[in-house]
């Protein structure tokens, strides 16, 4: 059964959950409005005009429509496009752009028909989430964009437990290595010329920032002798120039003149930087991608297509990556804190703990669906706020508590920390 309020339809909660209707209404029914003050505006806060959103590749939920502005008291209709959409056929490219440049109006070619082999340096939570998404997409019928068969995946980890975790996902046992150099040497020894239309291999660097320099030093001598391949880094804070520099072996110190000459003649490393978030584990990551210098647009397209297997992809200038990391990369943690606070408040008001948590999660999920469908935060808020009502009273309490300033401070501190991680490496 459902309750219809204008064009909105709200599901009626099971009777067992709502022992006290007033408390249920306060916690569950007002969440879209309570969330809106903390959400970034997509348009200009002064003019009200919507800004053009960044280019987006949708591997999960996506929508480009925008709810029209309506007078107060007339809520917008439910978003028509909260369905899984097929990925876009073209992705904006930044290949060869300088940091901070814009990709407005630029489009890259369609991702290659034949995606590359995918090798993981590290097998932590993020590496496993990406591998699982890529394999699941490859098992789909027909295969989903970004999908690969198990035979195309490789992984390395010093610990047997890490290798076992990748094996459990389906990575073949003979594609698992205990060192990054051993894995890259094996790839180099088994690298026939790629067929027409195929992208080069992608090596995913998925280690902690503190461990990245040592791993890159291990890879550098072999990278220069490798066929063209792309380094896809999900290491927080490290920019593409730093990564490329560490992949370039120093000249003059090896005593091997031929090797030094070959290294000097080699093309600069191709590096793509990405920042998924923990929602990749459920296929709902919002991943930002930036290309380093001299990266062909097709390589960016291939990396973005692979990452679309675990959610949506935004291609951005690299100068915005620290800000994107602070916003999309950390958002799941901050939203979880918000949900926990809501549930605690519900318990304080008398709700059972399990019911309070379900109501908080459901309310946040519903608000996210409305906003994902193109609804402006202010429109969603106004649809719920009644004159002299429960919701506006709660919103004013949040504003008195400084919710906007707290969110802004959290983003600013996280941006600075992301930038500092890169400098420390």
The answer to whether the CB of 376 falls within 8 A of the CB of 67 is: yes
Q: What pLDDT, on the 0 to 100 scale, is given for residue 90?
A: 33
Q: What pLDDT, on the 0 to 100 scale, is given for residue 118?
A: 93
Q: What pLDDT, on the 0 to 100 scale, is given for residue 18?
A: 37
- Which residue, among 299, 309, 269, 288, has the nearest Cα to 108 in the 3D structure? 299
First CA to last CA across the chain, in angstroms? 56
- Which residue, among 237, 240, 232, 243, has the nearest Cα to 306 in the 3D structure? 232
Distances (CA, A) of 74 to 4, 68, 84, 383: 14, 11, 28, 7
Q: What pLDDT, on the 0 to 100 scale, is given for residue 390?
A: 94
Side-chain half-sphere exposure of 122, counting CA atoms within 13 A: 22
Q: What pLDDT, on the 0 to 100 scale, is given for residue 291?
A: 93
Q: How far apart are CA 377 and CA 379, in angstroms?
A: 5
Residue 368: how many other CB atoms lie within 10 Å: 18
Per-residue pLDDT of the chain (425 residues), as tens digits, is 433 333 333 333 333 333 334 444 455 555 555 555 554 433 333 333 444 444 444 444 343 333 344 444 444 444 433 333 333 333 333 333 333 333 333 344 455 555 678 999 999 999 999 999 999 998 887 777 788 999 999 999 999 999 999 999 999 999 999 999 999 999 888 666 556 556 678 999 999 988 999 999 999 988 988 788 899 999 988 999 999 999 987 754 444 555 555 555 567 899 999 999 999 999 999 999 999 888 988 889 989 999 999 999 999 999 999 999 999 999 999 999 999 999 999 999 999 999 999 999 999 999 999 998 888 999 999 999 999 999 999 999 999 999 999 999 999 999 999 888 877 76
DSSP 77-133: PPPTT-SB-PPPS-----TTPPTT---TT--PPPPPSB---EEEE--SHHHHHHHHH
Beta strands 56-57 and 311-315 are antiparallel
Name beta bridge partners: 230.
202, 270
The answer to whether the CB of 24 falls within 8 A of the CB of 17 is: yes
Three-state secondary structure readout of 170-206: CCCHHHEECCHHHHHHHHHHCCCCCCCCECCCEEEEC
- Rounded to 5 degrees, φ, ψ at 419 are -65, -40
Task: Delimit the domains of the chain by residue range.
Answer: 1-86+366-385, 118-329
Task: Select from 3.10.20.30, 3.40.50.720, 3.90.1150.10, 3.40.190.10 the CATH code of 118-329.
Answer: 3.40.50.720
Q: What pLDDT, on the 0 to 100 scale, is given for residue 7?
A: 35
CA angle 284, 398, 286 (to 5 degrees): 15
């Amino acid at each position: 059964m459902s309750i219809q309020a204008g064009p909105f339809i709200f599901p009626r909660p099971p009777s067992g959950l709502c022992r006290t209707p007033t408390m249920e209404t306060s916690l569950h029914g007002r969440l879209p409005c309570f969330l809106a003050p903390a959400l970034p505006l997509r348009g200009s806060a002064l003019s009200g005009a919507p800004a053009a959103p960044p280019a987006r590749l949708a591997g999960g939920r996506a929508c480009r429509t925008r709810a029209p502005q309506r007078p107060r008291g007339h809520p917008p209709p439910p978003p028509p496009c909260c369905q899984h959409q097929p990925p876009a056929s073209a992705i904006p490219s930044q290949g060869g752009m300088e940091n901070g440049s814009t990709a407005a109006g630029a489009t890259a070619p369609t991702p290659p028909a034949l995606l590359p082999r995918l090798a993981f340096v590290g097998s932590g939570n993020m590496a496993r989430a990406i591998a699982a998404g890529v394999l699941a997409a490859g098992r789909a019928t027909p295969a989903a964009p970004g999908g690969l068969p198990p035979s195309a995946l490789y992984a390395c980890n010093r610990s047997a437990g890490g290798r076992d975790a990748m094996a459990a996902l389906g990575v073949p046992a003979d594609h698992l290595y205990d060192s990054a150099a051993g894995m890259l040497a094996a790839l180099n020894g088994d690298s026939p010329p790629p067929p027409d239309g195929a992208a080069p291999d992608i090596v995913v660097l998925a280690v902690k920032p503190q461990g990245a320099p040592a791993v890159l030093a291990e890879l550098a001598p072999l990278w220069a002798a490798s066929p063209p391949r792309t380094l896809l880094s999900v290491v927080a804070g490290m920019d593409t120039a730093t990564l490329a520099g560490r992949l370039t072996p120093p000249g003059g110190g090896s005593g091997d003149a031929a090797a030094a000459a070959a290294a000097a003649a080699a093309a600069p490393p191709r590096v793509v930087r990405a920042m998924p978030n923990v929602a990749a584990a459920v296929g709902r990551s919002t991943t930002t991608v930036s290309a380093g210098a001299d990266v062909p647009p097709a390589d960016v397209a291939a990396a973005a297509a692979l990452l679309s297997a675990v959610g949506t992809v935004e291609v951005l200038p690299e100068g915005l990556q620290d800000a994107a990391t602070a916003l999309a990369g950390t958002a799941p943690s901050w939203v979880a804190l918000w949900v926990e606070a809501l549930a605690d408040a519900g318990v304080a008001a008398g709700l059972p703990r399990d019911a309070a948590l379900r109501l908080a999660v459901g309310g946040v999920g519903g608000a996210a669906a409305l906003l994902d469908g193109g609804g402006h935060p202010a429109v969603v808020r106004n649809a719920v706020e009644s004159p002299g009502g429960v919701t506006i009273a709660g919103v004013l309490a949040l504003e008195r508590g400084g919710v906007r300033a707290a969110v802004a401070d959290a983003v600013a501190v996280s941006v600075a920390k992301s930038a500092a991680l890169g400098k420390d490496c």
